[in-house]
């Protein structure tokens, strides 16, 4: 498979920036690819993206040398298999609450000897046309990026065992779901949520893994960089809505 530039940059200690997209449209991904993103995340959890859509979106991202990553709806091998087979270079796994669940995610993404992902002549393997499976599986195991979401109180409490799982690359804070888990849905600035996020930051620091976060603005991205985050994402809507509202407000001035 192609070299995963985003993963290489993270391993080198750099910071990377990505955008979440929940709309199953390859043309949109191609346009976004011109904007300078390091990676794009295709949201199959809170969107309507299916494997066929994902495959086209991966192709569009690859046209502009942007790393295509997919968020699966659930931590199940059969679901992970279908989306990874489209050629995605990495995976976001939601609601990982223990070391065992993180291990299951890694094993579903990786081939033998690290994992148990099903092997076939699919797009991710260049349809079996470029290289023998032995070469492809070794490349895939090295290049695929595994991002696990920490979104519950249980996950925060068991984060020490999660970061110890070989093959996890990024610990990703999901602020909204974390607030929901803590009984203050949507209140990401609530002291309970802020304290939990501080615990995550402290545990990830020194683990060798990258800290990831979803932000809502450039200012928040800068703040999280100061706190040690190196895998920083924003939702497409968080960029689109202010730009459109700003334009309309200015255009309607007389």
Please report which helix (H) or strand (E) contains residue 112, including its range: none
pTM of structure: 0.96
1: confidence class by pLDDT, cuts 50, 70, 90:
confident
The mean pLDDT of the chain is 97
User: 247 lies in which domain range?
Assistant: 5-251
User: What's the structural domain count of the chain?
Assistant: 1
CB-CB contact of 42 with 88 (8 Å): yes
Cα–Cα distance, 161 to 39 (Å, whole number)? 27
Residue 235: strand pairing partners: 20
Averaged pLDDT for residues 196-225: 97
Report pLDDT digits (tens) over 63-78.
999 999 999 999 999 9
**What per-residue string of b and e applies to 105-134 under the rule 16 or more CB within 10 Å gives b?**
bbbbbbbeeebebebeebebbeeeeeeeee
Cα–Cα distance, 110 to 81 (Å, whole number)? 10
Cα–Cα distance, 211 to 225 (Å, whole number)? 9
Q: What is the DSSP string of 191-206?
A: HHHHHHHHHHHHHHTT
Q: What is the pLDDT of residue 254?
A: 76
Averaged pLDDT for residues 96-122: 97
Q: What is the pLDDT of residue 70?
A: 98
Averaged pLDDT for residues 176-197: 96
Report pLDDT digits (tens) over 234-253.
999 999 999 999 999 999 99
Give the single-character DSSP code of 254: -
Domain harbouring 14, CATH code: 3.20.20.60
**The one catalytic residue among 46, 56, 92, 149:** 46
**46 noted as active-site residue:** yes
Q: ∠ CA(38), CA(39), CA(40), 5° rounding? A: 140
Peptide bond into 9 cis (omega under 30): no
Report pLDDT digits (tens) over 118-153.
999 999 999 999 999 999 999 999 999 999 999 999
Give the single-character DSSP code of 12: T
């Amino acid at each position: 498979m192609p070299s995963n530039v985003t993963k290489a940059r993270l391993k080198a200690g750099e910071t990377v920036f990505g955008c979440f997209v929940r709309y199953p449209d390859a043309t949109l991904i191609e346009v976004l690819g011109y904007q300078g993103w390091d990676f794009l995340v295709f949201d199959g959890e809170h969107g309507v993206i299916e494997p066929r859509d994902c495959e086209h979106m991966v192709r569009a991202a690859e046209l502009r040398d942007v790393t295509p990553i997919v968020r699966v709806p659930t931590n199940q091998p059969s679901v992970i298999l279908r989306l990874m087979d489209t050629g995605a270079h990495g995976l976001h796994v939601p609601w990982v609450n223990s070391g065992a669940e993180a291990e299951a995610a890694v094993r579903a993404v990786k081939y033998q000897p690290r994992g148990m992902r099903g092997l076939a002549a699919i797009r991710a393997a260049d349809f079996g046309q470029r290289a023998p499976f032995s070469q492809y599986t070794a490349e895939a195991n090295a290049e695929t990026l595994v991002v696990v979401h920490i979104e519950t109180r249980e996950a925060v409490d068991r984060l020490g065992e999660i970061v110890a799982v070989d093959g996890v690359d990024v610990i990703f804070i999901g602020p909204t779901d974390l607030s929901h888990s803590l009984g203050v849905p949507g209140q990401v600035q609530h002291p309970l949520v802020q304290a939990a996020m501080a615990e995550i930051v402290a545990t990830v620091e020194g683990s060798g893994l990258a800290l990831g976060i979803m932000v809502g603005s450039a200012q928040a991205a800068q703040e999280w960089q100061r706190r040690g985050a190196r895998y920083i994402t924003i939702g497409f809507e968080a960029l689109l809505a202010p730009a459109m509202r700003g334009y309309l407000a200015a255009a309607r001035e007389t």
